[in-house]
């Protein structure tokens, strides 16, 4: 099992990396933000909306709810709207993370997925899955930024620490 402190550090890094990518995205026009950059990549808005929606989904499941659908990218017309919603999800996620204990991490979380299937995992597995998921899709954001001709920011975990990122 992963410790509460390590999970909190992973999520601190998650938000640090997200903010670095959002800062670069803020320089794009609405057209650049909404159009596919090429190479089969979805638009930046869609990639970022997916990251936000999945984080919200797992937070809802942690709270004992089983949403029947994910928010869609079109719910956020621009980067500001997406960022504002994500800050609220982050606030709620950090509040939940702040109260973590080893006992809480071992607690089973049950939910029903979108196909109506029931699943149960210990909380630590769900949060580890979410942290890995976010990192995977941050890589896709990096590719999209490159395809749009922009040097993406470094978002690696160790780079964050080398740059002075601390809890």
pLDDT in tens, 24-80: 999 999 999 999 998 889 999 999 999 999 999 999 999 999 999 999 999 998 999
pLDDT in tens, 80-115: 999 999 999 999 999 999 999 999 999 999 999 999
pLDDT of residue 167 exceeding 60: no
Pairwise CA distance, residues 135 & 46, whole Å? 16
pLDDT in tens, 124-155: 999 999 999 999 999 999 999 999 999 999 99
DSSP helix/strand/coil, 10:
helix
**Helix boundaries (H) for 63-162:** 79-98, 102-106, 123-147, 157-162
Exposure of 95 by Cβ count < 10 A (0-12 exposed, 13-18 middle, 19+ buried)? exposed
Lowest mean pLDDT among 19-23, 35-39, 101-105, 162-166: 162-166
Pairwise CA distance, residues 51 & 144, whole Å? 14
pTM, to two decimals? 0.94
Domains annotated for the chain, with CATH where assigned, are 4-162 (1.20.120.450)
Residues in CB range of 23: below 8 A, 6 or more apart: 153
Do residues 65 and 99 lie in contact, with contact meaning Cβ atoms separated by under 8 Å?
no
Exposure of 40 by Cβ count < 10 A (0-12 exposed, 13-18 middle, 19+ buried)? exposed
């Amino acid at each position: 099992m992963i410790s509460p402190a390590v999970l909190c550090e992973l999520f601190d890094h998650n938000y640090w990396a997200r903010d670095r990518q959002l800062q670069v995205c803020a320089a794009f026009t609405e057209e650049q933000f909404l159009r596919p950059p090429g190479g089969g990549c979805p638009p930046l808005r869609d990639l970022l909306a997916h990251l936000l929606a999945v984080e919200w989904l797992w937070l809802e499941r942690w709270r004992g709810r089983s949403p029947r659908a994910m928010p869609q990218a079109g719910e956020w017309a621009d980067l500001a709207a997406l960022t504002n919603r994500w800050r609220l999800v982050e606030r709620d996620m950090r509040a939940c993370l702040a109260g973590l204990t080893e006992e809480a991490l071992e607690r089973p979380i049950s939910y029903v997925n979108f196909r109506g299937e029931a699943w149960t995992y210990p909380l630590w597995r769900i949060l580890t899955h979410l942290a890995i998921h976010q990192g995977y899709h941050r890589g896709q954001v990096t590719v999209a930024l490159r395809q749009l001709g922009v040097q993406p920011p470094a978002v690696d975990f160790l780079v964050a620490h080398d740059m002075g990122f601390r809890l």
